Structure 1
Amino acid sequence: MPSRMSLRQIEAIIAVCEEGSFTRAAARENATQSGISQHVAAAETALGVRLFDRTTAGVTPTPAGLRYYRHCVEAMSLLDRAGEDAQALTGTLTGNLRIGLMPTFTRAALTPTLQHFVIAHPDLQLQIVEAYSAILTEQVLDGALDFAVVPAFEGRVGLRSRLILRDREVLISARGRQFAPLKLVRLAECGPLKIVMPAPDNIRRRNLDIYFQSNDVAVARLIEMDAMMATFDFVARSDFVTVLPGLICINDIGRDEFCINPVEPPLYAEFVVITPSRRTLSSPARLFLKRFEADLAATEKRLAGLLKPSSNAKARR
């Protein structure tokens, strides 16, 4: 029968598997590289099986190592849940809650949840971090955030994810320049576009590139910008357009500054909530997320009603 693993050995195995490096695992765990190596080696000796393949390119888990990692993650999650359940008996939410959101959500969907949560839980310290998906993903992996909402991606060791929103993309332009509000637009019929798009390493950019290529959308000039508020300001003051999830501009529909048009064929952005595999969501995080999802559903329902387009698919005036 294998020897019982220490908590430090389990934490070391999880860190090495997720980081793919003894050096990065040591930095994450505030330990030395030799200490992490010793913990892993002791675990391998006790189990009688090699958990990792070590090469000059890095460290990768063996099939046995990956299976053991998954059990370690489940065990750590159960320990976290036990502590959460014990604290829940007090009936008061305390501590810190750290959430990562993209501008898509902070601009139009966050306030209703905050208005409820801040009043309902005055003893909870709440921190909202706004950033793009790559930064938020790293912060969740590092344990700096309890959870984040980012565009759907192929997944990554150390993270759990689930779909939270599927949002229709829309064309945004300055009001009165080219399009009639809320009419369906076929971008291929709009002539070469002057457009602002995310940078190439942005997940949404890859989806937009595929959509443009598949639907023969011509681009006359492209500006790459990962700054949402600057994108809105520039589009409002120029003849450039942009394509964004409908959620972010729900409060702009019907106002004088922007023209909003659903694109045809439909293009959708999918968003997932990501959490660290090694930790269970805290009680405050679960409650916040439950309320946030309910508010998102209500906002999406309102957005669908606002975006009901004319049957005429051409939006040129």
Structure 2
Amino acid sequence: MDFRQLEQFVAVYEEGSFSRAARRANCTQPGLSVQIRNLENELGVALFTRNRRGVEPTVAGKRLYARGLSILNAVADTEMLVRELSGNVMGAITAGTVPSVSRSALPAALSRFTENYPDVELTLDEAYGGTLTERVVAGELDFAVVTSAVKHEGIEATLLAEHELTLVSGPESGLTPFERIRLCDLPPLRLVLPTERHEIRRMIDSQIARAELTVAAMIESDGLNTTLEYVRHSGWSTLTAVASIIDAADTGALIINPIVRPRAPVEYYLVRQTRRPLTGAADRFVALLREELAAIIVRWKELSGN
């Protein structure tokens, strides 16, 4: 068994499909099948059972995955440790964030990071949480910050921060800024909401249903800036995370109200591949993102009196 075979085995195990694993491992499906067959012959045991839906690991496959993952992680940790012995934080980071983080915590974290670690190359993406998670699974991103704890083989989700869902309206709403509200007490609202492709939409729909809030009309928009600008100049409202509006919270351009009932936490998670530990550079970048997300909570409590 060699290192490449072990990586390919882990890819098949986590993807549950030779075709998806081949794309992830950047090889052909027939070639990957041959490698797994050779590995099974070498070990003298079947690692997968094949069916029309894909593959299922055998008992031996599950045991090899647990041990193999430890080996791959140990190698990655060792490489990272040796590279950082020089004392210089270098390398490259490819990461993604959902729009509310891109609009709030990311710019401040990015400014601090580039000032302290100018030799690190950064590639950043903004997308829906589901899209970002798929890119992490495919190995295209080192990590992503999303608003849902992902359940996927080989993916680890770590809670970074917990924010709140807020009601955001324009000056025409007649609401008092930062006054605590209960959704059930509000008259029918015209709402601009993200589409159902966005993770936070499921949370919003749940809150609307729990509060029995009447939605008089709805516009769906996945453009956060477009949504906030339209709300600011109209009689419409939106439900969004604190991070989305913290930069405008004290300008008076938007009327922002904390929701006290039902309480609606918005959780931000770091997602990454279990077998790919964060590099020293990525670990430092995540630490700064965590600090900036925490600073938003502090700022929000000051403004809302919560």
TM-score w.r.t. structure 2 length? 0.94
* Separation in 2, partners of 1:69, 1:287: 29
* Separation in 1, partners of 2:230, 2:59: 51
Counterpart position of 2:254:
258
Counterpart position of 2:284:
287
What do residues 138-187 of structure 1 show as CA deviations (whole Å, max 9, x unaligned)?
11112221111001234111211111111011000112423110001122
Aligned: 1:147 with 2:143: yes
Counterpart position of 1:299:
296
* Separation in 2, partners of 1:247, 1:209: 19
Whether contact under 8 Å (1:152, 1:163) holds in the other structure is no
* Separation in 1, partners of 2:181, 2:100: 22
**Aligned partner (choices 179, 182, 187) of residue 175 of structure 2:** 179
* Separation in 1, partners of 2:28, 2:247: 51
* Separation in 2, partners of 1:37, 1:202: 36
The letter of the residue matching 1:130 is E
Aligned: 1:42 with 2:16: no
Counterpart position of 1:246:
242
Counterpart position of 2:221:
225
**Cα deviation, residue 221, structure 1:** 1.3
Pairs within 5 Å for 1:165-204: 165-204=161-200
**Aligned partner (choices 94, 102, 106) of residue 106 of structure 1:** 102
- Per the alignment, in what secondary structure is the counterpart of residue 31 of structure 1? coil
Aligned: 1:271 with 2:260: no
- Per the alignment, in what secondary structure is the counterpart of residue 260 of structure 2? coil
* Separation in 2, partners of 1:222, 1:74: 49
Aligned: 1:81 with 2:69: no
* Separation in 1, partners of 2:45, 2:250: 64
Against the structure 1 CA distance between its residues 68 and 297, is the aligned structure 2 distance closer, same or farther, given a 3 Å change threshold? Answer: same
**Cα deviation, residue 249, structure 1:** 0.9
- Per the alignment, in what secondary structure is the counterpart of residue 110 of structure 2? helix
- Structure 2 unaligned residues grouped into runs of 5+: none
* Separation in 2, partners of 1:59, 1:20: 5
- Per the alignment, in what secondary structure is the counterpart of residue 162 of structure 1? strand
* Separation in 2, partners of 1:242, 1:195: 5
* Separation in 1, partners of 2:58, 2:224: 42
TM-score w.r.t. structure 1 length? 0.91
- Higher percent of residues as helix: 2
Aligned: 1:22 with 2:18: yes
**Cα deviation, residue 128, structure 1:** 1.6
Pairs within 5 Å for 1:56-95: 56-95=52-91
Whether contact under 8 Å (1:100, 1:147) holds in the other structure is yes
**Cα deviation, residue 51, structure 1:** 2.0
- Per the alignment, in what secondary structure is the counterpart of residue 171 of structure 1? strand
**Cα deviation, residue 296, structure 1:** 2.0
Counterpart position of 1:312:
none
Whether contact under 8 Å (1:196, 1:224) holds in the other structure is yes
**Cα deviation, residue 110, structure 1:** 1.7
What do residues 217-239 of structure 1 show as CA deviations (whole Å, max 9, x unaligned)?
11111222222111112211222
Aligned: 1:54 with 2:25: no
- Structure 1 unaligned residues grouped into runs of 5+: 310-317
* Separation in 2, partners of 1:239, 1:123: 48
- Per the alignment, in what secondary structure is the counterpart of residue 56 of structure 2? strand
Whether contact under 8 Å (1:176, 1:259) holds in the other structure is no
**Cα deviation, residue 105, structure 1:** 1.0
- Per the alignment, in what secondary structure is the counterpart of residue 280 of structure 1? coil
Root-mean-square deviation (CA, aligned residues, Å) is: 1.6
* Separation in 1, partners of 2:275, 2:5: 14
* Separation in 1, partners of 2:230, 2:63: 50
**Cα deviation, residue 79, structure 1:** 0.7
The letter of the residue matching 2:164 is R
